[in-house]
Each structure stands twice: as structure tokens, then as C-alpha cells.
Structure 1
Amino acid sequence: MRYERHKKRKKRKSTSILLVLLVLISATAGYVFFQYKQGVNQSLEKINNEEKQSDINSEVYAFEGKKDQYGATNILLLGSDARGNEKARADTIMIAHYNEDKGTYKITSIMRDSYVSIPGHGKHKINSAFMRGGPELMRKTIKENFEIDLQYYAIVDFEGFVQLIDEAFPKGVEINVEKRMKEYIEVPLEPGLQRLNGEQMLSFVRFRHDAIGDFGRVQRQQQALQAIGDQLTGIQTIPKLPKLIGVVTPYINTNMDTGDILFMAKDFFAKGRGNIETFRIPIENGYKDANIKGEGAVLDLDLEMNNEAFHQFLTQ
């Protein structure tokens, strides 16, 4: 039986965190690469100053991360569903994998209702780890359950998502909408290949009110990531890169500095990007639907099966 979600939920802004981080990484790298190609020796000081001046998401989190056992750099990507002053669960959980030696970029999405052990707190939905102990507890939770180390984190506020998409793609992002989408999203969508503006893209990656719920939403997030990555590298985007950096940086809380971003982005932009491979936890047939008192509907994972497939994905 496929996992279904029938409960109405309030709208959330943080549903596709990687999309914004990808634009930030590509924009920063693209800006420097463009200046290099033009023969301009421009310092990164201005970019660093702009990052320091941002006071949005200014809370500093402890994060004891490191490279994984395969020598890769992993970035924990979190979107928060906080409203007002309440403590936030992680609405979106992804891991971006960068392997410098192989020059590969991969993405893993972890379903937020995965029922796992949270160090010091017992078993709960994985998205509650952020509420209980910030990105560091989420890092420990992923390490304990999925046996992988994370070096960096990034938390995104999606207030600027619509403006960012509209600025980068004035003609819209070309994407195939597989079905009519209208429930609990700001802008209804009709099926078919089309160009979506910022508000429409936000609806596309938010929508989950169908028979497959969050599974469909994760699939659409990864589809949107591929489309944005493919279309972002177009030459018409390059002159806008400095402005894109200014749009994105105030909405990201991360322990990555500009040097970290440039280091990981140089091959992505300058040498041409191959396909970004994607993976989902749990895998097909790697979980059971369950109802747990105090937790509600959860995904009860077969950790051995999921970890075997996950680590095969990381090393292939």
C-alpha cells in the first residue's frame, strides 16, 4: 500500500530547499567564472560583505560535521515549517553529495515522516530532530540511522523563492506538469509541458494532495531541480548572476562560506554539469505504513534494506 496523507495542512514556504541553494552555488560560481573569462581580477570581498550584512536566519548553530567515509562532502539541506515563534520541524530534508575526485553531484531526499531513532529522544519522525536539537541533532540522527557523515548544513527561508525564479527565468522554467494541481496551493496548475513563473513553480513543488502525497512531492522537487539546473547554465543567465547572489544570500543560514561554495561549484559551472543523480529514502518496498500513538501516520523503515541501496547509490 502506498503511503497516503489526507489531513489538511497549512501552506508552507520551505518545500524545495535545494532549488534555492543550487541557484546560490551556481550563481556564485558563475559570477566569478564570468569575471575570469572577461579578464577581470575581481575580489570576493564584496560578496563576503553582503553575506555578513544579512541578518535573516542569523542564529548560529553548532555543527560537528566532517567528510564521509568515501571522501565526499555532504551538505544537510533543511526547510523549516516554523510559523511565528513556534519551534520548527524540518519540512524538507535533503542531502547534497559532492565528490571532488569523481566530479559528481548527487541528491538524496529523506521523507520527513520516516520513523527513526533520534539520539537521546527515542523513536520519532525524523523531521522532529530539527525541532529538538537543530541541525546538529539532525546530523547525528542521519549518522546513526543511515551511517553517513555530513560536513555542512544550510537552512533556507523561502520568502525570496518566487522573486528568485522570476529574476533568473523571466520567461519561466520549462517543466512538464503531469496532472492538474489545485488543492491547497496558491496558484492552480493545468497539465502539460509549459513555462512556470515563480508562483507557479512554488505551487508545483508544494503540491502533495493526491494519492501518493509526499512521495509525489519529493519526485516533483527532484524534477524541478533537474529543470532549473539544466536551464540555469544558459548564457542569458550570466549577466544576472550578481543580482541573483544578492537575492538569495539573505535567505540562507549556513556554515558554508563563499570559498566552500566556490570550491564545490567550479566543476558544476565551468566544466559543464552532467546529470544530477537523485535518490529517495525510503526506497520502494523499503518501508511499511504504520500508525504510532503520539506520532500519527509514519513510515516504518527497513534500515538494512534502505542503507544497502543508499550506500550503493553513493559509491556507484
Structure 2
Amino acid sequence: MSTYADRLAALREELAQRRLDGFVVPLTDEHMSEYVGAYAQRLAWLTGFQGSAGSAVVLPQEAAIFVDGRYTLQVREQVSGDHWSYQSVPQTSIADWLGAHAASGARIGYDPWLHTKAWVEAATKALKEKGAELVAVEANPIDAVWDDRPEPSTARLVVQPDALAGRSSAEKRAQIADWLTGHKADAAILSALDSIAWTFNVRGTDVDHTPVALAYSVINADGTADLFVAPGKIDEAVAQHLGNAVRVHPRDAFAGHLASLAGQRVAADPERAVAAIFGALGKAGATVLELRDPAVLPKAIKNDAEIAGTRAAHLRGAGAGDLRVVLDRLGQHCR
């Protein structure tokens, strides 16, 4: 499909085949990341928009793209006004727009792995007032029409040495276990990629601009953990680093694993865990505690090793900047 108009038409045809009257397209991934891998760039593929934040809604006869004030000019340069209306956030929310534009009886699809629980609740309410319905899809319809969609990165994880991290992964997991005990919880879901990188002292190259790897984790109250990551991304060095207290599973086994938490008290962050996680835990019969990701605050409190690393990074960055100035001046002199 060489044009964005063709892509929009193909999506509408796919939605019609699924008996859907619309679909919501956010710019995020299954981890609610701001920056996402190429495989998750659905909004850019569909519309041409290259910003780091935005969403779109496609209905049978109209389509809208939602961006904040940072992208007011950019969205008009990159996305055709012939096919899309421009909506400003937060002045207009997707839920409110759907409530005003969706037809009575309409079935509006969404991918539960790409939205928060709060968003689903707000959109469901807005559509219900219009006599319409929000429908979770099992497979994203954009993926069905995106013929050359890239595969998720297969790059291997790398170990962040304890000397640079300042604390071992075992210490960090023990701290989270203590936090769980304090909340009388059995396990915590970690789905934010930076939290997983920090907790396990690992890094990756799966997402531009952030040194993280695509993974999920369940931290247990006994300090053990289940890490869900593509098997080919773990080499011997990483396996030894993780140790026997971390059980490694394929990344696509995560959803099924949630069912094994039946009867347990499980903490999940409503801002960082997608609606599908809450749905799976509820279906399994787990008691869900809506609490902030337990890695967020400890990660923000930098130890001496991390502070030293930050200073070193600033010095390297400053040196690189000075070198660019010298090279620019040399280039001007040579001209």
C-alpha cells in the first residue's frame, strides 16, 4: 500500500469484515511506552505522523488524529487534512469525540494491550451514553493490513554490572518483596520496560532512545521472579546473572501465566499496566491491588554509583559537544 489513503481504506475494509464501526489507534506499545519499537508504530504507518505522542480514531466516514500542543504544526505537515480532522488534546479527548461522532449502536474496537484501564472505562461510559459499544479485539486489525510490519527486535539483553548499578538485582527484588509484604500482596506485575531494566540490572536495544528490552515480569513475595522475554534474547552471561531465583519464560507466555495467579493478591499499576492485564487477572480470580509500580520510587532515588555514572555521562556528552564545535569550525575554515 503506497499511500496513506490506501492504508486507511484497507483498515476500514478490515473493520467492516470484523463487524466493527470504528477503531482507536494509540501511539504506544504493550508496555505503555512513550518511545516504541518499529513493530508498534501503527499510528505512523496509518497516518504518516512521526511525533512521539498521539492517537487516532477511524470511523466509516470520518477519521480524526489527536495530538497535544507540541505537534500542532507537525501534524498538519505530516498528516493529510483530506482524510483526517485535527483534534487538540487535552481540549478534546478521544472518549468525548467518540461520544459525539459515533453512531447509535456502533461497535468501536480497541486493542486492550494498548490502553489503560482508566481509558477503557472513560470510553465505555461515553459510548454507552450514545447507545454505542466499546469492543476489545483479540488481534489488532492494523496488523492484518500492514503487510511489511517489522518483527519485534531480537537483540540480546546485556548485563548492567552491579558496580554500575550500585545494587544487585537480588537486593532490589528483596526490597520489592518487602513492599509486597507490607501491602499483604503475593505478587507484583512489572510491565514498564524501564522498571524491568532497573529491577533485573539488564539493558537492551529494542526501543530507540531507551536502553530497554521487551519483557514482562512478575515479582513474588518470596523474592523470586518470573521474567517473560523471547528465549533468543538470553545468552549464557545473562542467564548466569539472573540466577536460579529468576525463572525465564517466553514473552508470549505472559498472558497465560496471569491465569495461574488465581486466588492471589496481585499488585498492578493502573498507569503503567494495560487494560488486558487487569482483565486477565480479574478473569483468573485474582484480587487486584491498584498500586504504583514498586520500582518507580526506588529507581528515582539514585545511589552513589548511579550518581557517578550520571556525572560521567554528562562529561562524555560535553566532550562530544566540544568535538562537534571544533569539527564545525574546521569545516568552515576548510570551505
TM-score range, shorter chain: under 0.3
When Rg is computed on C-alpha atoms for both structures, the one with the higher figure is 2
Which of the two has greater strand per residue?
Answer: 1
* Greater RCO (CA < 8 Å, at least 6 residues apart): 1
Taking structure 1 as the reference length, what is the TM-score of the superposition? 0.26
Taking structure 2 as the reference length, what is the TM-score of the superposition? 0.25
